[in-house]
Amino acid sequence: MCVPIAMYIYWRKTGKGIAGFVAGLLLMAALYMTAGLVLGSIPVNRSYAQPTQGITIFVTDNGVHTDLVLPVKTEYIDWRDKLHLQDYAAADSTFTQVGFGWGDRKFYMETPEWKDLTFTTAITALFWPTRTAMHVEYIARPLQQNKYQQPVILSEQQYKALVDYILASFQQQPDGEFLLIDGMGYSDNDNFYEANGRFHLFKTCNSWVNGGLKAMGHKAACWAPFSFSVMRQVRE
C-alpha cells in the first residue's frame, strides 16, 4: 500500500476515534448536568422550619464554590483552639467569623484564581478520586445578607451537628490537632489543612456543603454538585 493511502486510512480511523471520544464526553456532560439540575431541585428535610432565634451561620457562594461560615466562638466550640491564630499572620482575636470549604487538594493548591486553572488539573479533579483539603479563612466582621451570602439560623442541637460534621472532615493527629499544610494559603488570613474523603465527580465542594445541611437536618438538595443548587435550598 502506498504511503499516502496508508496515512489517509490512519488519520480516518484516528479521526473517528477522537470524534467518538469527544461525543462520549459531551454525552456524559449532558447527563451530569441533567442529573445535577434534577436532583439539585429535589429537597430533603423538606418539612424543616428555621427557628427565629439561635446561632447564625452563613452559606456563601462565589458563583462556583460554596462555603460554610460560622462564628469563631460559641458555647459549644472556640475554633481558635483548633485553628491557631499564630498560623494566620493577619488574623487576631477580634475576628468574628471563620469560613470552611472542602475540595480537591491539588485544585486548591494550584488554582488561587480561575485564571490559574489548567486543563490537566480540571480533568484530574473531575474524573479521578483525589486527595482533599480543607480551606479555612478567618473573617474580620460578621457577614451581611446578599445574593452570595445567605444567613441560616440554627438551634443549639443543629449547630452541634454541623460542628461535628466539619470536625470529622479534618484529618486529625492523635492529640486532636489538625494537619496544617504549611505555606499554601492564598493570603495572611487563610490556610489549608489535610482533609478526610476523596474528591470526585459525584462528591464536590458543593455536595460537601450540602452534606453539612443534611447533617444538621436543614432543608437541602438530594444531590448538589453545583453552587446554585445549594443556595436554592437555603434561600427557600
Answer for the pair 192, 30: CB distance below 8 angstroms, yes or no. no
Sort residue 131 into left (φ over 0), alpha (ψ -120 to 50) or beta.
beta
Domain boundaries, the chain: 41-235
Average pLDDT over residues 60-85: 95
Among 40, 24, 42, CA closest to 204: 40
Q: Which residues contact 53 (CB under 8 A, 6 or more apart)?
A: 153
Question: What's the chain's length in residues?
Answer: 236
105 vs 129, which has greater pLDDT?
105
Max CA separation in the chain (angstroms) = 82
> Which tens digit of pLDDT belongs to each residue from 155-172?
999 999 999 999 999 999
In angstroms and rounded to an integer, the radius of gyration of the C-alpha atoms of the chain is 21
> Which tens digit of pLDDT belongs to each residue from 7-43?
444 445 555 556 554 555 566 566 766 766 776 678 8
Sort residue 235 into left (φ over 0), alpha (ψ -120 to 50) or beta.
alpha
What's the pTM value of the predicted model, to 2 decimals? 0.83
Answer for the pair 71, 55: CB distance below 8 angstroms, yes or no. yes
The helix/strand/coil state of 226 is: coil
